[in-house]
Amino acid sequence: MSDFAALALAAFLTVTAVTHFLFPAYFRTLVPRWLPSPTALVVGSAVAELATAALLFAPATRTVGGWTAVALLSAFQVSHLDAAFHTRTRPGFLGSPWGVTARLTVNAAYIAWALAVTAG
């Protein structure tokens, strides 16, 4: 995969991490109810995204960064799968069956992007 794809993924993860800090209340709504400490999970995921982005920005650690991104984005699928079980109790488009399907699909595409980066 090109350097551009890795750098674009790094930039994407950086922007996403920053939005976790700017809009924590929104991201707490994405944390499944059965997980403890939504605030800590939002902050932790933002820090993990920044660390992953740093790995992707550096050519020497880009492959490790790609695999780290795969793991991180795969962990986020838990939130989207959990939403699938609560489509009747969550308001708004992202909580609807179509919204959950979109969330799962888009996140799967992000995982594919990260996998492509691991191929170097």
Lookup: tokens for 40: 């800590």
**Under 8 Å between Cβ of 113 and 2:** no
Sign of the CA dihedral with 90 first, then 26, 10, and 68 last = negative
Amino acid of residue 27: F
> Digits of tens for pLDDT over the chain (120 positions)?
589 999 999 999 999 999 999 999 999 988 999 999 999 999 999 999 999 999 999 999 999 999 999 999 999 999 888 888 876 666 677 667 888 888 899 999 999 999 999 987
**Under 8 Å between Cβ of 46 and 17:** yes
- Domains of the chain by residue range: 3-118
